[in-house]
Amino acid sequence: MPHKHVVPLAALLASAALALTACSTAGAPIPAAQQTSENAPADQAGPAFLTGSARSNKADESSGDLAPPNAAQEVRDRWVQLRAAKAGDLDPVVVDGAGRTLYRFDKDTANPSKSSCDGDCAKTWPPVTIAKGGKVFITGVRKADVGVVTRSDGSRQLTIAGWPVYRFGKDAKPGDTLGQGVGGTWFGVTPDGKKAGATKPTPPTSDPAAKPATSATLFSGKNFDDVTGNNFATGIAGPGCQDVRGDFLSVAVDGAVKLWSEPGCKGTSKVVTADVADVTALGFPNGPKSLFF
């Protein structure tokens, strides 16, 4: 895939470094219910979580979700992106960094997390795995809902709300949803772990207890899209009022931030405390023109 435009910010690089430290194994262990399976020992090495996309965080595009098909598994497992998106008739559904739809399996369990798809099943439905200390980029998915379960072969599979997640081998391109409804047991997974297509998306709510954000990632496309067409992402960091140059239709934040309709933090405003897939629904038809951290 061609490299997309990402605007670097020295302040964001420093913020990302702090995020990496804060999200290390020692500082942010994965909940025990999401670390273990019934047939494998617990593994305490959690992944590092980063707000924003793989590209906005300058991930190595020859590895992770964008690794070539013949790449070693350890190269593929270096990073995974979980992004709330629209794929086919599914809205929202979680996709990876290459735009592939992710699925959940009714025969698995979420509490405790346990995968029932091994052997030939796992060849058709490859589990989404992550290396020890690997990076997980999240946009539109709450960090608290993402975990890891150790599979019977010792690999570490990502979970959403406790449900192990998979790709479908017959999905040939981004946006394919050929796995939806297969066998009456396989469904796209929503950002909160439910079956995609079963519920309508809910608008983001404000959490009054959220800590102030230090940075935000703005996306020119809805649904945190910096991959298709000419879409790209840019970073912006506080403190105080920061103007936005351009039209951005979705935003990923690391805490509470106030969006303003005009430069200089003027006009109408809206406080957001979670990622917003479509800011036009909040009354910003051309995106916010300034942010206050």
User: Cα–Cα distance between 145 and 120 in angstroms, integer?
Assistant: 28
User: Residue 189 pairs with which residues in a beta bridge?
Assistant: 195
Q: What is the pLDDT of residue 198?
A: 78
Q: What is the pLDDT of residue 207?
A: 82
User: Residue 39 pairs with which residues in a beta bridge?
Assistant: none
* Contact of 108 with 116, CB cutoff 8 Å: yes
User: Cα–Cα distance between 50 and 141 in angstroms, integer?
Assistant: 11
Q: Which residue has the tokens 């479509």?
A: 278
Q: Which residues, in sequence order, are CB contacts of 236 under 8 Å at separation 6+?
A: 9, 12, 215, 216, 217, 218, 242, 244, 291
Helix or strand or coil: residue 226? coil
Q: What is the pLDDT of residue 44?
A: 53
Q: Where in the chain are the domains?
A: 32-188, 215-292
Q: Which fold has domain 215-292?
A: Gamma-B Crystallin; domain 1 (2.60.20)
User: Cα–Cα distance between 68 and 75 in angstroms, integer?
Assistant: 9
Q: Output the pTM of the full model.
A: 0.83
Q: What is the pLDDT of residue 21?
A: 37
Query: Mind listing the pLDDT tens digit of every residue in the chain (293 residues)?
Result: 444 444 443 344 344 343 333 333 333 333 333 333 333 333 456 799 999 999 999 999 999 999 999 999 999 999 999 999 999 999 999 999 999 999 999 999 999 999 999 999 999 999 999 999 999 999 999 999 999 999 999 999 999 999 999 999 999 999 999 999 999 999 999 999 999 997 676 666 678 888 999 999 999 999 999 999 999 999 999 999 999 999 999 999 999 999 999 999 999 999 999 999 999 999 999 999 999 99
Q: What is the pLDDT of residue 205?
A: 67
User: Cα–Cα distance between 259 and 265 in angstroms, integer?
Assistant: 8
Helix or strand or coil: residue 9? coil
User: Residue 270 pairs with which residues in a beta bridge?
Assistant: 259
Q: What is the pLDDT of residue 266?
A: 98
Q: What is the pLDDT of residue 208?
A: 84
Helix or strand or coil: residue 285? coil
* Contact of 93 with 101, CB cutoff 8 Å: yes
